[in-house]
């Protein structure tokens, strides 16, 4: 191990337990459980894979303690004894690799809904959560006692299943946090009215759980340092709660941030546009108030930052959430000094949390193996057979990387002089540098794995025939739609992608036609280099295909730049110096010096059709099939390799692959 990262790999204490290192997988709902909340083989394979990568401590996802508190359709449950065998198997899978494993005990309160649980949500006060927007039932004293008993029973199940500890989910605006915060708790009885009374529910849950598990079983608690909402939790209030929990005997505290109402601010699960380590100051502040260990979380992606937080005493443990979805081997690679090989999470929030909020399974845009560990166990047997990949965008590079890992002899032909395809334009927009880091990672991998990359090498069917590969993977991508508009004379027009790649000039007042995510990003780029910009969009809102937090942050930046947004508006025509647009109320001319088209893309698949020779194994992947997101492109590239190897996919994985939503 590189000596300089030693502090990350020193053992650490959580109550009476010793973790082998300072790295923690925080709770992450995966939506892999069955309808009853039981762990599935997919869940087991995923947790075992993460344990194999060397993390010291695993916290299983927020697991509902009672049905009305279930917040996600396929969340893990700990609400009845039927869950115990699955939890036992999960415990064993972590222990096989020397990791500690606990589970997060969860009740969603008013952030659960009839849709997720089938029951009316409950809350300290009958006030709907502003995002979920469902009126909850206000808990009676008898209801409160029953829920406290459910937490205790859940903790007992965790102990019976052989888990090492439990974490109470007191953060993110769920039931315990709803009691703690006057944003959601307006009670005037024993459970509300003063900070001490608002804390009472947490203290009673803690005491009941302690009674259930005995004196030495570690209980940790996750808290939101602040909620950033009027009447929400402040860091002083959380510090007081932390001190109380220390007095009660909590083994560690885990400091996160926010609730659903403030999720879009981008601090709870920080997206690309928010800096690394943004929540560390909250953990640091709590650490100054207590002597028990503190776990820091929130886009701590690099070993350098993890080390700094530990060495400067800002926290005792580092939670790596999305970093372990993106690369479960982060710990062992860093321990071995293989820093360049770490596939760092790019905080795109596309494959993981955006899918979860859509009640889909959690995947990872840049790691197609996440949640498909069983399938990828079959990634071998290429035996040096020649695979030719046409196209060096994300789908083609993924096919080449996973093809080389499987043992194929892979050549990749890219028509341009650079690898990356649409990642190049994507990375050029402000705050989108994560896409460049993905591009660089894939370039690094192709070189490390010996893929023969041919740039400036357009391929056609005759070229493939000459190369005579065993299989060809067509990843020729998509090109921007450039609609011909009759009668447009003298109005310069360019595609958004060409603007971002620097291959088209831009001038004066720009009208961006198409206000999806890519149009909004192109508008931001143009505004950031000094243009006056108007975005027109036929649908009722701008950037609705962007992750919710990225969207909120981007709309705020567009506003700061003075970009004019015109939803419900269509482009009709262009005249000298202006464009004619129509909204439901009027048709008018807007001044414009050029139009930038962001109206989507169409597949480039001529080559695919001509290469379907019967003797050649041919697979078409990514945007060449249908323009969609990077998540689908990378997955299809890698899965084409599994398909060539004859790996059978589980029905759920097959269905996921077939349901990739169209987009751009
Ligand atoms: C898909 C997904 C599911 C999550 N589920 C939970 C959860 O069950 N409980 C919880 O406290 N936090 C949950 N979180 C938040 C993470 O535990 C973590 O705090 C957050 O991702 C920030 O850390 P990171 O930047 O290392 O990913 C979830 C995050 C993601 C991306
Ligand atoms: S989908 Fe994006 S944000 Fe989520 S873990 Fe993967 S790289 Fe990170």
pLDDT, tens digit (0-9, with 9 covering 90-100), for 325-379: 999 999 999 999 999 999 999 999 999 999 999 999 999 999 999 999 999 999 9
In degrees and rounded to multiples of 5, residue 268 shows phi and psi of: -70, -50
Kindly give the number of the ligand 2 atom that is closest to the alpha carbon of 271: 3
What confidence score (pLDDT) does residue 273 get?
Answer: 94
Please name the residues in contact with 503: beta carbons below 8 A apart, sequence gap of 6 or more.
none
- Report the C-alpha gap between 662 and 664 in whole angstroms: 7
- Report the C-alpha gap between 271 and 345 in whole angstroms: 10
Kindly give the number of the ligand 2 atom that is closest to the alpha carbon of 631: 1
Q: Running DSSP on this structure, what letter comes out for residue 662? A: P
Distance of CA 135 to the CA centre of its chain: 29
Kindly give the number of the ligand 1 atom that is closest to the alpha carbon of 222: 11
Q: Which residue has the higher pLDDT, 293 or 490?
A: 293
- Report the C-alpha gap between 645 and 636 in whole angstroms: 14
The answer to whether the CB of 180 falls within 8 A of the CB of 199 is yes
Kindly give the number of the ligand 1 atom that is closest to the alpha carbon of 172: 11
- Joined tokens for residue 171: 């953060």
Q: What spacing in Å lies between the alpha carbon of 442 and ligand 2's midpoint? A: 15
In degrees and rounded to multiples of 5, residue 495 shows phi and psi of: -85, 145
pLDDT higher than threshold 50 for residue 386:
yes
What average pLDDT does range 611-617 have in this prediction?
65
What confidence score (pLDDT) does residue 660 get?
Answer: 62
Q: Say what the alpha-carbon torsion angle 343, 346, 349, 355 is, to the nearest 10 degrees.
A: -30
> Residue 241, CB half-sphere, CA atoms under 13 Å: how many?
33
Q: Which residue has the higher pLDDT, 302 or 465?
A: 302
Q: Which of 213, 291, 226 is nearest to 253 (CA)?
A: 291
Ramachandran region, residue 215 (left: φ > 0; alpha: ψ -120 to 50; beta: rest): alpha
Residue positions annotated with a catalytic role: 174
Q: What spacing in Å lies between the alpha carbon of 188 and ligand 1's midpoint? A: 33
What confidence score (pLDDT) does residue 573 get?
Answer: 87
What confidence score (pLDDT) does residue 338 get?
Answer: 94
What confidence score (pLDDT) does residue 609 get?
Answer: 63
Tally Cβ neighbours within 10 Å of residue 397. 31
SS3 label, residue 420: coil
What average pLDDT does range 192-198 have in this prediction?
97
Q: What spacing in Å lies between the alpha carbon of 370 and ligand 2's midpoint? A: 10
pLDDT higher than threshold 50 for residue 46:
yes
Name the β-bridge partners of 106. 64
Probe target for ligand 2 pocket from 46, 319, 365, with the most ligand atoms within 8 Å of CB: 365
Ligand at minimal distance from the CA of 346 is: 2
Tell me which residue has its CA closest to atom 20 in ligand 1: 269
Tell me which residue has its CA closest to atom 26 in ligand 1: 321
Least confident of 227-236, 306-315, 433-442, 481-490: 481-490
SS3 for 571-612 is EEEEECCEEEEECCCCEEEEECCEEEECCCEEECCHHHHHCC
Ligand at minimal distance from the CA of 105 is: 1
Probe target for ligand 2 pocket from 266, 269, 324, 325, with the most ligand atoms within 8 Å of CB: 325
H-helix or E-strand spanning residue 436: helix 433-448
Q: Running DSSP on this structure, what letter comes out for residue 262? A: G
**611: pLDDT confidence band, cut at 50, 70 and 90?**
low
Terminal Cα-to-Cα distance of the chain (whole angstroms): 42
What confidence score (pLDDT) does residue 664 get?
Answer: 26
Q: What spacing in Å lies between the alpha carbon of 271 and ligand 2's midpoint? A: 9
629 CB less than 6 Å from ligand 2? no
274 CB less than 6 Å from ligand 1? no
What average pLDDT does range 25-52 have in this prediction?
97
Tally Cβ neighbours within 10 Å of residue 305. 16
351 CB less than 6 Å from ligand 2? yes
**659: pLDDT confidence band, cut at 50, 70 and 90?**
confident
User: What angle do helix axes 630-644 and 394-405 make, rounded to 10 degrees?
Assistant: 30
pLDDT higher than threshold 50 for residue 43:
yes
**3: pLDDT confidence band, cut at 50, 70 and 90?**
low
Probe target for ligand 1 pocket from 321, 359, 371, with the most ligand atoms within 8 Å of CB: 321
The answer to whether the CB of 618 falls within 8 A of the CB of 611 is yes
**577: pLDDT confidence band, cut at 50, 70 and 90?**
confident
pLDDT, tens digit (0-9, with 9 covering 90-100), for 233-279: 999 999 999 999 999 999 999 999 999 999 999 999 999 999 999 99
Tell me which residue has its CA closest to atom 2 in ligand 2: 348
325 CB less than 6 Å from ligand 2? yes
Q: Which of 357, 393, 177, 339 is nearest to 271 (CA)?
A: 357
- Report the C-alpha gap between 219 and 293 in whole angstroms: 12
In degrees and rounded to multiples of 5, residue 436 shows phi and psi of: -70, -35
Angle among Cα 594, 565, 504 to the nearest 5 degrees reads 30
- Report the C-alpha gap between 413 and 474 in whole angstroms: 10
634 CB less than 6 Å from ligand 1? no
In degrees and rounded to multiples of 5, residue 276 shows phi and psi of: -65, 145
Q: What spacing in Å lies between the alpha carbon of 495 and ligand 1's midpoint? A: 37
Number of DSSP helices (H) and strands (E) in the chain, helices first: 24, 27
Ligand at minimal distance from the CA of 58 is: 1
With tokens 């959560």, the residue in question is: 129
What average pLDDT does range 581-590 have in this prediction?
92
**606: pLDDT confidence band, cut at 50, 70 and 90?**
confident
SS3 label, residue 663: coil
- Report the C-alpha gap between 278 and 226 in whole angstroms: 12
What average pLDDT does range 68-85 have in this prediction?
98
299 CB less than 6 Å from ligand 2? no
Please spell the DSSP secondary structure of 176-245, one letter per residue.
HHHHH-TTT----STTSSSHHHHHHHHHHHHHHHHHHH-TTS-EEEEEES---STT---HHHHHHHHHHH
Ligand at minimal distance from the CA of 299 is: 1
**567: pLDDT confidence band, cut at 50, 70 and 90?**
very high
H-helix or E-strand spanning residue 273: none
Mean per-residue pLDDT over the chain, rounded: 95
pTM: 0.95
- Report the C-alpha gap between 374 and 376 in whole angstroms: 6
Kindly give the number of the ligand 2 atom that is closest to the alpha carbon of 346: 7
pLDDT higher than threshold 70 for residue 612:
no
How far is the CA of 245 from the CAs of 147, 170, 174, 175, 272, in angstroms? 20, 11, 18, 17, 34
- Report the C-alpha gap between 63 and 57 in whole angstroms: 17
- Joined tokens for residue 353: 């949390």
- Report the C-alpha gap between 417 and 397 in whole angstroms: 14
411 CB less than 6 Å from ligand 2? no
Q: What spacing in Å lies between the alpha carbon of 255 and ligand 2's midpoint? A: 21
356 CB less than 6 Å from ligand 2? no
Q: What spacing in Å lies between the alpha carbon of 242 and ligand 1's midpoint? A: 20
Q: What spacing in Å lies between the alpha carbon of 298 and ligand 1's midpoint? A: 8
């Amino acid at each position: 191990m590189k000596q300089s990262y030693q502090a990350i790999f020193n053992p650490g204490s959580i109550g009476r337990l010793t973790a082998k290192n300072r790295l923690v997988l925080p709770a992450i709902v995966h939506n892999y459980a069955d309808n009853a909340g039981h762990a599935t083989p997919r869940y087991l394979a995923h947790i075992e894979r993460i344990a194999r990568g060397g993390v010291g401590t695993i916290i299983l996802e927020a697991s509902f303690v009672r049905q009305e508190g279930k917040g996600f359709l396929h969340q893990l449950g700990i609400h009845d004894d039927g869950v115990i065998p699955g939890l036992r198997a999960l415990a064993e899978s972590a222990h096989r690799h020397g990791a500690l494993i606990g589970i997060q005990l969860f009740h969603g309160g008013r952030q659960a809904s009839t849709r997720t649980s089938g029951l009316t949500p409950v809350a300290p006060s009958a006030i709907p959560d502003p995002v979920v927007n469902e009126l909850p039932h206000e808990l009676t004293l008898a209801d409160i006692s029953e829920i406290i008993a459910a937490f205790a029973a859940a903790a007992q199940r965790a102990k019976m299943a052989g888990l090492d500890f439990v974490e109470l989910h007191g953060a993110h605006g769920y039931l315990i946090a709803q009691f703690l915060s006057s944003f959601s708790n307006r009670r005037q009885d024993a459970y509300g009215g003063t900070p001490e009374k608002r804390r009472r529910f947490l203290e009673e849950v803690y005491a009941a759980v302690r009674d259930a598990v005995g004196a030495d079983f570690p209980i940790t608690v996750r808290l939101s340092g602040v909620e950033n909402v009027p009447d929400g939790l402040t860091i002083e209030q959380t510090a007081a709660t932390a001190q109380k929990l220390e007095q009660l005997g909590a083994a560690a505290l885990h400091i996160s941030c926010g609730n659903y109402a403030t999720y879009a601010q981008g601090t709870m699960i920080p997206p690309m546009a928010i800096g690394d380590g943004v929540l560390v100051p909250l953990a640091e502040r709590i650490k100054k108030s207590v002597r028990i260990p503190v776990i820091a979380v929130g886009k701590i992606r690099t070993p350098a930052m993890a080390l700094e937080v530990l060495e400067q005493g800002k926290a005792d443990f580092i939670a790596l959430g999305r970093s372990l979805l993106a690369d479960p081997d982060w710990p062992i690679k860093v321990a071995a000094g293989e820093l360049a090989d770490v596939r760092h999470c790019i905080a795109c929030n596309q494959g993981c949390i955006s899918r979860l909020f859509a009640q889909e399974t959690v995947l990872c845009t840049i790691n197609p193996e996440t949640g498909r560990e069983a399938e990828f166990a079959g990634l071998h047997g290429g035996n040096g057979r020649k695979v030719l990949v046409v196209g060096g965008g994300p789908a083609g590079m993924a096919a080449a990387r996973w093809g080389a890992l499987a043992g194929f002899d892979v050549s990749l032909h890219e028509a341009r002089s650079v690898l990356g395809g649409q990642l190049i334009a994507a990375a050029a927009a402000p705050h989108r540098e994560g896409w460049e880091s993905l591009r660089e990672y894939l370039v690094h991998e192709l070189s490390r794995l010996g893929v023969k990359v041919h740039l400036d090498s357009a391929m056609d069917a005759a070229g493939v025939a000459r190369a005579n590969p065993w299989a060809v993977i067509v990843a020729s991508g998509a090109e921007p739609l450039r609609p011909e508009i009759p009668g447009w004379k003298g109005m310069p027009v360019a595609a958004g992608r060409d603007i971002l790649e620097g291959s088209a000039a831009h001038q004066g007042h720009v009208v961006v036609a198409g206000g999806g995510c890519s149009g909004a990003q192109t508008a931001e780029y143009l505004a950031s280099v000094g243009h006056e910009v108007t975005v027109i969009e036929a649908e009722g809102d701008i950037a609705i295909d962007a992750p919710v937090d990225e969207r909120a942050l981007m709309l705020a930046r567009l506003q700061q730049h003075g970009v004019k947004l015109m939803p419900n508006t269509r482009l009709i025509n262009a005249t000298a110096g202006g464009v004619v647009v129509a909204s439901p109320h009027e048709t008018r001319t807007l001044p414009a010096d050029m139009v930038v088209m962001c109206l989507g893309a169409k597949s480039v698949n001529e080559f695919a059709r001509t290469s379907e020779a019967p003797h050649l194994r041919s697979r078409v992947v990514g945007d060449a099939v249908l323009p969609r997101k990077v998540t689908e492109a990378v997955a299809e590239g890698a899965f084409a390799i599994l398909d060539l190897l004859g790996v059978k996919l589980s029905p759920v994985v097959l269905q996921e692959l077939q349901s990739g939503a169209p987009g751009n």
